[in-house]
Amino acid sequence: MSFNPDSDLSGTIARLFVYPVKSCAGIEVREALLTETGLDLDRAWMVVDAHGAFLTQRALPRMALIRPQLKTEEMVLRAPGMLALHVAIDAVEAPATVTVWRDTVPAWDMGAVAAQWFTDFLGQPCRLVRFDPDYRRLSSMDWTGGIEAPNQFSDGFPVLVASEASMQELNDRLTAAGHGAVGIERFRPNVVLGGVDSHDEDRVDMVRVDGGAEGEIHLQTVKPCARCPIPDIDPATAESSPEVGTTLRAYRADRRLNGAITFGMNAIVRQGAGQMLRVGQRVAADLRFD
C-alpha cells in the first residue's frame, strides 16, 4: 500500500521517546513498537507512595535523575549514588491497587528490593508497580469523541506528539530573554515531528505515518497537553527554575482549555497497532479548522 504524502503539511518522525517508568527519565530510541496503549512499555511502571498514590517530579524532582535502560528481558534503573536496579520485564510479585489522577486501577507490585531502592533514593516510602495489562484504563471519551482509547500509566492519553519547530520557537524566545536553550526532553513527548511549522501539531486531526508495506499508521490528535511545572525541571540536575513556564505563559494560553498553558498534543492510536514507528518515517496531515 503506497503512502500518499499529498496533504496540507508533510514531514518526518524526527525523534522517538519511551518513558518506561512514569515521571522518570525517558529513553530515546530509533524505533518502537506501537500498541493500542502507545509505544511499547511506555509508562508500564509507576512509583507509588505507601498508600498506592502515584508519585511524579511535581513533588519529587529527583525522579528526573532515575534513568532506565531497556534490555531484552529486563529494565535496568540507575540513579546517582545508587547501585543499578535490575527489574525483570515479564515478572511481577503481588497484586496491588493504585491510583493515578482520578483513576483507581489494578497493578502488580514489583517487590521489596525495588521498593527499597526507590525509597532510599527518593527519601520516602515507595513501591514500584507494573500496570496490569488485563485492565483497560480508557482515555477521556469527552476528548476522544466516544472512541475507546486505552493507555497505561500515562496522564491520560496513549501518545504525546510535539515538533522540533515548536521547541525551536520556545528556545528562540528563551535566548532572546537571556536564558539558555532547553531540550525537548523536558516536555516528555513520544513522537517528535520534523519538517513542519511551529505548533502545526495543534492544528491537525489525523497524523498519517508511512508504514511501508504494512500500511499507514494513524495517530489522531485529540487534546492539547496542559503543562504543569515539570518543564521547569532540568532533567540533568533535577533543579527547577521558572523561565520555561514563564516564557510559555507569554504565548501559549490555550482557549480550548480555558486559557491553560499547553505544549504538544495528546493523541490516540486509530490504526497501526502492532506496527513499528521509526525515526525518518514520512508523516502527512491535513489542517483542522474548528
CA distance 109 to 46: 10
**Beta-carbon neighbour count of residue 62 at 10 Å?**
15
Look at the block and give the residue holding cell 500496570. Answer: 131
Q: Give the per-residue pLDDT at 113.
A: 97
Look over the chain and give the mean of its residue pLDDT values, rounded to a whole number: 96
Q: Give the per-residue pLDDT at 281.
A: 98
Domains and CATH numbers, the chain: 9-285 (2.40.33.20)
Asked if residues 77 and 67 have their Cβ atoms less than 8 Å apart, the reply is: yes
Q: Is the pLDDT of residue 1 over 80?
A: no
Tell me the per-residue pLDDT of 197-251, one tens digit each, with 9 for 90 and over.
999 999 999 999 999 999 999 999 999 999 988 999 999 999 999 999 999 999 9
Per-residue DSSP letter, 53: B
DSSP H or E run through 45? strand 45-48
Phi, psi torsion values for 65, nearest 5 degrees: -85, -5
Tell me the per-residue pLDDT of 172-187, one tens digit each, with 9 for 90 and over.
999 999 999 999 999 9
Q: Of the ranges 25-34, 86-95, 262-271, which one carries the lowest mean pLDDT score? A: 86-95
Between strands 260-271 and 253-254, the pairing is: antiparallel
Rounded to whole angstroms, what are the CA distances from 190 to 107, 204, 218?
23, 17, 15
Look at the block and give the residue holding cell 504525546. Answer: 160
Q: Give the per-residue pLDDT at 38.
A: 98
Residue 201 bridge partners (DSSP): none
Query: What's the mean pLDDT in 59-71?
Result: 97
DSSP H or E run through 284? strand 282-285
Query: What's the mean pLDDT in 19-43?
Result: 98
185: CB partners within 8 A, 6+ apart: 17, 25, 26, 235
Q: Is the pLDDT of residue 189 over 80?
A: yes
Share of the chain above pLDDT 70, in %: 99
Rounded to whole angstroms, what are the CA distances from 127 to 94, 152, 205, 206?
12, 17, 38, 38
Determine the distance from the C-alpha atom of residue 203 to the mean position of all C-alpha atoms in its chain, rounded to a whole number: 20
Reduce the DSSP state of residue 184 to 3 states and report it: helix
